[in-house]
Structure 1
Amino acid sequence: MSTRPAVVMPDAVAVVTGYLRSALAAAGEPVPVVSRIPSTRPPRFVRVERVGGTRQTVVSDRPRLDIHAWAETEAAAADLAELVRALVHVIAGVRDGVTVYGTREVGGPMWLPDDQTSTPRYAFAVEIHMRGRALGD
């Protein structure tokens, strides 16, 4: 029997979407940041989706996130994706009570027009290293 406490990993999507909402607003770009595509799509928005990842250590997780940026034009989508990319790379610190150690890019920005609406979209992928919490904390 292990003497280590069970460790619960944070909801990486919730941590990153909350951080990006605040960071984008502070950068003068108050864009919706969501985990699911809204049924009524705003002209500009960002989606964060967990697509895998692995436990990094006994007490930390390294989720892989796909991040998509939609906008009215290809240039605007590219600009929004680059702004979000820059913000994600400086996420390290304590975010909503979760210790985030850092980010590693695993797929740079790519042009990915929305297959349902042809709306301009760029996407990139990152792994975010974050600390879990012992069960009962």
Structure 2
Amino acid sequence: MKPLIVMPDAVAVIADYLRSELGGVPVMSRVPNPRPRRFVQVSRVGGTARTVVSDAPMLDIHAWDETDADAADLIAMCRALIAALRGVTGGVTVYGSAEVGGPQWLPDPDSSQPRYALAVQVHMRGRVLER
């Protein structure tokens, strides 16, 4: 019987990594209510299996903060951290990442709060499902 390969939850892996590196900045997969003054959202917007044992999810990273400059700084930090990520994080092997869309000014339409967004594709290894 051919082994089943289960791909990791890329949102959880990247959100946990950013949370551990951003020194107390909330990082989540949904916009919370109430909103913190500063936070990062990670969501999967696509991607495909790269090989039979690896995935290449496309992720949107959004960073909100109190000022335009602070939101730009926060997305720049996320960008640098993701670009530097190689090796094992949260038990998942990450081979690297590619920027799909660089940081862009994207003010929040609901709150008018300053927000920047970034799109990345992260190459990560799956795991064999024990059956």
TM range (shorter): over 0.9
Q: How many pairs does the alignment contain?
A: 131
Give the structure 1 partner of residue 17 of structure 2: 19
The question of 1:47 aligning with 2:45 is answered no
- Give the alignment's Cα RMSD to 1 decimal: 1.0
Among 95, 100, 108, the residue aligned to 2:102: 108
- Give secondary structure in 2 for the equivalent of 1:65: strand
Q: Which moved more, 1:58-67 or 1:16-25?
A: 16-25
TM-score by length of 2: 0.97
Structure 2: how far apart are the matches of 1:99 and 1:134?
A: 13
Give the structure 1 partner of residue 69 of structure 2: 75
Deviant stretches of 4+, over 3 Å: none
Structure 1 residue 75, shift from structure 2 partner: 0.6
Structure 2: how far apart are the matches of 1:64 and 1:4?
A: 27
Structure 1 residue 90, shift from structure 2 partner: 1.1
Give the structure 2 partner of residue 98 of structure 1: 92
- Aligned identity (percent) is 63
Among 7, 10, 13, the residue aligned to 2:8: 10
Structure 2: how far apart are the matches of 1:49 and 1:127?
A: 12
Structure 2: how far apart are the matches of 1:125 and 1:95?
A: 20
| 2:27 counterpart letter in structure 1 | V
Which segments of 5 or more consecutive residues in structure 2 lack a partner in the other structure? none
Q: Which moved more, 1:64-73 or 1:87-96?
A: 87-96
